[in-house]
């Protein structure tokens, strides 16, 4: 089993500091650097050099610094790309969720292109499925040629229902209402 060394942990922390700056500092402010290094050594030991490289490559695509577990997931995901069937299913789930779940950025790009020709996704329409899958294959092929890696959108929290308004409404007393009307009349008269 390959051991993830202290030097590798320090290099990774340095790369994250350079890449993410204040975001990294804020995220790890409450954690001693030695504790972070130890967590990385424990979690990343056993990963191959190529898997660690997968994590570095994914880090180049992500706007926020990963926690230790997310970085490990990135390492293990590698350069796996969704198949066109997986992409179609992910697009359907995304639309069904009201566009609130995390999906592949390439699926999202395909979906946007797809919607230029179709108003909505119909899971039962074979022609739509084929068109989407063909677009996805083309977009992923171009992305691979450009050296891009699979990355995912951030999930958007579903809108929460507002709490019942417990405020009571009261009517304005007639004498106060008359004063308010008088204020409006006098301010309009002053402008004329």
Supply 53's token pair: 């490289």
Supply 61's token pair: 């695509």
Q: Tens digits of per-residue pLDDT, 151-192? A: 778 776 543 444 554 556 677 788 877 887 777 565 555 555
What separation in angstroms does the CA of 37 have from each of 17, 42, 75, 76? 14, 9, 17, 19
Sign of the C-alpha dihedral, residues 118, 119, 121, 122?
A: negative
107-127 average pLDDT score:
89
Residue 106 sits in the same domain as residue 47: no
| Residue 54 in domain | yes
Residue 64 sits in the same domain as residue 111: no
Residue 67 sits in the same domain as residue 96: no
Which has the closest alpha carbon to 190: 182, 144, 11, 44? 182
Residue 25 sits in the same domain as residue 59: yes
Q: What pLDDT shows up at residue 167? A: 59
Furthest-apart CA pair in the chain: how many Å? 87
**In the chain, at which residue ranges do the beta strands (DSSP E only) sit?**
none
Residue 89 sits in the same domain as residue 27: no
Residue 52 sits in the same domain as residue 26: yes
| Residue 183 in domain | no
| Residue 14 in domain | yes
Residue 108 sits in the same domain as residue 127: yes
Residue 88 sits in the same domain as residue 73: no
79-86 average pLDDT score:
79
Residue 13 sits in the same domain as residue 67: yes
Query: How many Å apart are CA 108 and CA 153, to the nearest integer?
Result: 8
Q: What pLDDT shows up at residue 161? A: 42
| Residue 10 in domain | yes
Q: Tens digits of per-residue pLDDT, 84-105? A: 888 899 899 898 888 888 888 8
**Domain count along the chain:** 2
Residue 22 sits in the same domain as residue 59: yes
Q: What pLDDT shows up at residue 160? A: 43
| Residue 163 in domain | no
The single-letter DSSP state of residue 171 is P
Residues spanned by the domain of 27: 6-77
Say how many C-beta atoms besides its own lie within 10 A of residue 149's C-beta: 21
Predicted TM-score (pTM) of the model is 0.45
| Residue 170 in domain | no
| Residue 175 in domain | no
């Amino acid at each position: 089993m390959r051991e993830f060394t202290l030097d590798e942990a320090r290099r990774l922390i340095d790369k994250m500091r350079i890449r993410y700056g204040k975001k990294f500092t804020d995220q790890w402010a409450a954690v001693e650097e030695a504790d972070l290094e130890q967590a990385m050594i424990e979690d990343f030991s056993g990963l191959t050099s190529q898997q660690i490289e997968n994590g570095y490559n994914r880090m180049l695509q992500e706007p926020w610094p990963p926690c230790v577990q997310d970085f490990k997931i990135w390492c293990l995901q590698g350069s796996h790309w969704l198949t066109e069937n997986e992409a179609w299913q992910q697009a359907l789930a995304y639309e069904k969720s009201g566009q609130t779940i995390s999906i592949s950025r390439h699926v999202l790009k395909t979906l946007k292109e797809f919607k230029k020709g179709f108003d909505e996704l119909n899971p039962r329409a074979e022609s739509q499925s084929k068109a989407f899958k063909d677009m996805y294959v083309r977009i992923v092929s171009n992305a691979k040629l450009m050296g891009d890696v699979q990355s995912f959108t951030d999930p958007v929290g579903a809108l929460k229902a507002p709490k019942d308004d417990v405020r009571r409404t009261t009517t304005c007393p007639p004498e106060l209402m008359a004063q308010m009307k008088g204020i409006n009349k006098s301010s309009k008269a002053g402008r004329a």
